[in-house]
Structure 1
Amino acid sequence: MSELDEIRMQVMWNRLISVVEEQALTLLRTAFSTSVREAGDLSAGVFDPQGQMLAQAVTGTPGHVNTMAEAVLEFINEIPRDEMFEGDTYVTNDPWKGTGHLHDITMVSPSFLNGELVAFFACTAHVVDVGGRGFGADGKSVYEEGIQIPIMKFAERGAVNKDLIRILRANVREPNQVIGDFYSLSACNEVGHRRLVDMMREIGLTSLDNLSEFIFSRTTNAMRERLAQFPEGSWSNELMTDGYDEPIRLAAVVDMKDGLVNVDFTGSDPMSRWGINVPIIYTKAYASYALKCVLAPEIPNNAASLAFFTVSSETNILNAQRPAPVSLRHVIGHMVPDLVFGALAKALPGQIMAEGAGALWNIHISVRPVAGQSGQNAEVLMFNSGGMGARPALDGLSATAFPSGVHTMPIEATEHTGPVIIWRKELRPDSGGDGEFRGGLGQIIEIGAADNHEFDFSAMFDRVTQAPRGRNGGKNGTAGSVKLDDGTAMRSKGWQHVPAGKRLVLNLPGGGGYGDPAQRCAKAREQDKIQGYVTEERQ
């Protein structure tokens, strides 16, 4: 390939990334759910006709992007090629063939040019409700957690499946929001298809074969060169999480050999009877993300780069089998990067960050008027973040969603969805672990209902009994807590009630510190004090 051809291919690759970015932005702009519109809890990507991911949108979470990279193959396996038509859109929320739980809707659309299949577009988003028990850990099987949609057609030749719409409307609490998001997902893929076809016609392409070969060959070569710089060997780590009613141990062994990396989760605790189990597709998504963050952060994320990472496990909480309850698979799944980092820290001493809050502190609020009073019913979902662990040369980021990467929802957007008042949302002093580099701070969030209203809430929290650990002599971050404003302790998981006039107070965990606290410079300590990150008592 000539230098000029390489430049043209690189330009087309960049154009492809802009196509999927516009695809994702369409979803952001048209979504009904605040978790999508405000928090960016979504993914979008383009795939070749064999179902290999060519490019992903920058907007999106690893748990969606990397599961979607495998989910498209499930769609191709179940829908025969001769049953795919222009204008089709396919859908599922199967946790084992999609993204790990029922609340995520995955849509895949074939893209045709001049009657020939040239690509697939896929997108995923979290919807506000799927019926059943609602978003929480209380289910005893996936059948209790909501409506299950097998891989099927949402639309055929552009005609929407009205029977599916009627079934959805009869099974969810917020039908207008949910069905609106289904149409937004479909529109997202349609925009990607249109932009791709426009690009191909402009450039004169009849297929993406040459561009695919360029993308995958460059990525493969870059990954081989990068992985060759790291030592071969085997390293293990264990991490404790709160669990539901008792702590749960996660275990991982990272093997690097012959330019490939495998993570084995055998040794983790058995499946839980509560909805915190993780399908292996989601475990792999975050294990691959952790490996890529450390080993090849600058190399594009596509089928070729992901091919260097594999996972294995016996049946356990990180490889849950159907029909295990999996609604809160993210709470344990978000701990996987810290688990993998702990093993890599033994292979690469002095290069790996400390543990952080990990799991999002999601809360689903079901608010209603007190009996005998008039008012509004509403379902409200909030995403909140604790602190990140400190890094080998920098303090941890405060109130940051790592590893999920979603945004926090603005208070105004949350309060607009129903009679909920956020009385306080501020950084939590002294929550970051001490060290040469300080852990990121958590938050304090105080939530109440409007006058004459009460609410139930689904707690989806962790790091309450098991604080994030520091690294290389750094101190642990401060664990979280859940209570009412009168001091009544609440559980970290499960549905609970907040009476009218009471407020829920969430203290989110801070990240672990890095390095010997005695090595922290006096100027940094003074700035911590001035900015209120650390109080006089902590000093």
Structure 2
Amino acid sequence: MKADLARIQYQVMWNRLISVVEEQAQTLVRTAFGAATREAGDVSAGVYDTQGRMLAQAVTGTPGHVNSMAKSVGHVLAKVPLAAMVPGDVFILNDPWLGTGHLNDIVVVTPTFLGDRPVGLFACTLHVVDIGGLGVLGAGRQVYEEGLYLPVTKLVDAGRLNQWLVDIIAANVRENVQVLGDIYSEIACNDVGCRRLLAMMAEFGMESLDGLAEHILEQSRKASLEAIHRLPFGTWHNTMTVDGLSAPMVFHAALTIGPDGIDVDFAGSPGVVATGINVPLCYTEAYTSYGVKVIVAPHVPNNAASLATIRVTAPEGCILNAQHPAPVAGRGTIGQMLPDVVMGCLAQAVAAGVPAEGTSCLWNIRLMGGPGRVDAPPEVLAKATGFNLTCFHSGGTGARPRQDGMSATAFPSGVRNVPVEVTESLAPVLVWKKEYRTDSGGAGTQRGGLGQVMEIESAEGLPFATAMNFDRVIFPPRGRDGGLPGMTGRISLTSGKELPGKGVHSVPAGDRLRVEMPGGGGHGDPRRRDAALLAQDVAYGFVSAEAAAAQYGAVLDADGAVDVAATRDRPE
């Protein structure tokens, strides 16, 4: 009876701990300066025990941040033992191999003290708009050229801000108000976490987190293994071709399900490249484990123990295990494809429940203006407003076995689209168009999610530049179980010139940048799609009448609308 009561108490504490880290994350979102955090939610927040093991993460956040940040606290403790920390200390790092994969993501770690005794740590991550250097996908050939590199460093020493470090950061970034404001918001969010944890411990009469930590980790490990044991044991293989740089890349994955967990090996995948789409192993681990977990054990809380049941390997020198000092600024373009790669393995082992491929990589629109940022004569840019802006946007997700894919929605990252009004308030640009892209979702019993079309122009009538790091321009997201592929993306100027998916390009004065984002793959035979849903798709403009007839076998009436009754009788 006492054991049952203890388990109930631990469960109540565990749920409370999750609410603590969610408040921590919401503090970060509400106080941040950068649109990536404030509008898109490109963050993570979590609480750790004194051994550096993540116990709980906030619901708000991205897998790439939280799953790689899960190990960041251990790296901090390896450099600064807990015994050497004092109340009021705060640590900062953006080392891509110890943090979240590239320099734009800054991790802040804060120890929590009950009196003068450490009882845990809080960590958070966010994406800053600029970290100096050559940008998210510039001409950098080493990480040193990609921006300011911060090893594990003390940001606040016993309550006193390290102003020397703050001055160094401010002097090396283009948007110092936004970047420093974001870092201060990270300090604040961890402080909220610390205070809420101490209040929770006081309420439950806790002297340490040790007992709760062991309960959380043991129950998570047990639940994860139970979910894994419901799957057939064996090894499954999958390949996926992406655009790459000058030539396509083929990723190879071998996924092995066994009694002690799941192993994913990327042997055979391409080697590192000269431009920064290389991926540190921590980021490969983050998105691979996420792709496995959402299919195998989606209801098991994410923490050190549940993540430990999924092990990821890639050969050194592989693009998925890039070694220092490889350029890694655009690691998300490749890294966010990995859930689709491992889901292709799981689809062979799991009878149902695996979606089709989606756009996966973000289609963030990066815009720059002013002297030194645009390929135009200095006299043309003399009165131009200088700006550096990242607008978060997405194509469509893959169709699910029982539901359509989500349109203009980021998966696997989960970040939100930045509203047009916010973009126009942050920089002198005009967004003339933002709409769904007809026929971009792959046909299927369940239709792939739609991409979107955007057109952007300078509000000052001057040239501006865009830095692009897009994939799915050449190779589309594939459908599953008979579903058709989604539409590939396309980038162009409204004057007619087509642009490649990766690189920095100038948009001449008076011209507009046009970005057409990919759609997700379809799931199941298109001719089995419900006729009423297909009629609705055509009426809403999601599917053209021509595609409805050609791909779905729809019968159209004289007005070009779907004849539901006749379509229901179509042969499969």
Return the TM-score normalized by structure 2: 0.93
Please tell me whether the aligned partners of residues 137 and 328 of structure 1 are also in contact (alpha carbons under 8 angstroms).
no
Q: How far off its partner does 1:124 sit?
A: 0.2
1:278 aligns with 2:279: yes
2-structure distance, mates of 1:40, 1:177: 15
Q: How far off its partner does 1:80 sit?
A: 2.6
1-structure distance, mates of 2:196, 2:181: 23
1:418 matched residue in structure 2: 427
1:470 matched residue in structure 2: 479
1:505 matched residue in structure 2: 514
| Corresponding residue SS for 2:547 | coil
Please tell me whether the aligned partners of residues 360 and 461 of structure 1 are also in contact (alpha carbons under 8 angstroms).
yes
CA RMSD of aligned residues (A): 1.2
Report Cα offsets for 1:170-222 as digits up to 9, x if no partner.
11101111111111111111110011111111221110111112211221221
1:12 matched residue in structure 2: 13
| Corresponding residue SS for 2:98 | coil
Q: Which has the larger radius of gyration?
A: 2
1-structure distance, mates of 2:9, 2:388: 49
Q: How far off its partner does 1:372 sit?
A: 6.0
Report Cα offsets for 1:424-458 as digits up to 9, x if no partner.
11110000111111111000011111133321111
2:105 matched residue in structure 1: 104
1-structure distance, mates of 2:9, 2:183: 36
1-structure distance, mates of 2:199, 2:543: 55
2-structure distance, mates of 1:361, 1:460: 8
Q: How far off its partner does 1:392 sit?
A: 1.1
2-structure distance, mates of 1:294, 1:35: 28
1:71 matched residue in structure 2: 72
1:40 matched residue in structure 2: 41
2-structure distance, mates of 1:223, 1:392: 23
2-structure distance, mates of 1:529, 1:373: 49
Aligned with residue 435 of structure 1, among 440, 444, 465: 444
Please tell me whether the aligned partners of residues 367 and 420 of structure 1 are also in contact (alpha carbons under 8 angstroms).
no
For 2:116, the aligned partner's letter is G
Aligned with residue 526 of structure 2, among 509, 517, 530: 517
For 2:398, the aligned partner's letter is G
1:340 matched residue in structure 2: 342
Please tell me whether the aligned partners of residues 137 and 276 of structure 1 are also in contact (alpha carbons under 8 angstroms).
no
| Corresponding residue SS for 2:56 | strand
Please tell me whether the aligned partners of residues 138 and 495 of structure 1 are also in contact (alpha carbons under 8 angstroms).
no
For 1:468, the aligned partner's letter is P
1:360 aligns with 2:369: no
2-structure distance, mates of 1:262, 1:138: 35
2-structure distance, mates of 1:535, 1:293: 33
1:386 matched residue in structure 2: 395
Report Cα offsets for 1:134-174 as digits up to 9, x if no partner.
22253211111001001110111011111111111111101
1-structure distance, mates of 2:148, 2:381: 32
| Corresponding residue SS for 2:370 | strand
Point out where structure 2 has 5 or more consecutive residues left out of the alignment. Answer: 372-378, 549-572
Please tell me whether the aligned partners of residues 278 and 322 of structure 2 are also in contact (alpha carbons under 8 angstroms).
yes
Q: How far off its partner does 1:83 sit?
A: 2.3
Aligned with residue 333 of structure 2, among 323, 331, 334: 331
Return the TM-score normalized by structure 1: 0.98
Please tell me whether the aligned partners of residues 137 and 460 of structure 1 are also in contact (alpha carbons under 8 angstroms).
no
Which piece of structure 1 moves more, 26-35 or 362-371? 362-371
| Corresponding residue SS for 2:499 | coil
1:123 matched residue in structure 2: 124
1-structure distance, mates of 2:49, 2:177: 33
For 2:360, the aligned partner's letter is G
Residues matched between the structures, number: 539
2-structure distance, mates of 1:512, 1:90: 43
Q: How far off its partner does 1:419 sit?
A: 0.2
2-structure distance, mates of 1:138, 1:476: 33
Q: How far off its partner does 1:517 sit?
A: 1.4
2-structure distance, mates of 1:375, 1:327: 27
For 1:182, the aligned partner's letter is I
Please tell me whether the aligned partners of residues 438 and 544 of structure 2 are also in contact (alpha carbons under 8 angstroms).
yes
Please tell me whether the aligned partners of residues 112 and 118 of structure 2 are also in contact (alpha carbons under 8 angstroms).
yes
Alignment of 1:45-64 (within 5 A): 45-64=46-65
For 2:459, the aligned partner's letter is A
1:265 aligns with 2:266: yes
For 1:67, the aligned partner's letter is S
1-structure distance, mates of 2:63, 2:216: 20
CA distance 1:81–1:5, change in 2 (3 Å): closer
Report Cα offsets for 1:230-275 as digits up to 9, x if no partner.
0000001111111122211111100111231010011101111111
Report Cα offsets for 1:489-513 as digits up to 9, x if no partner.
1121111101111100000000011
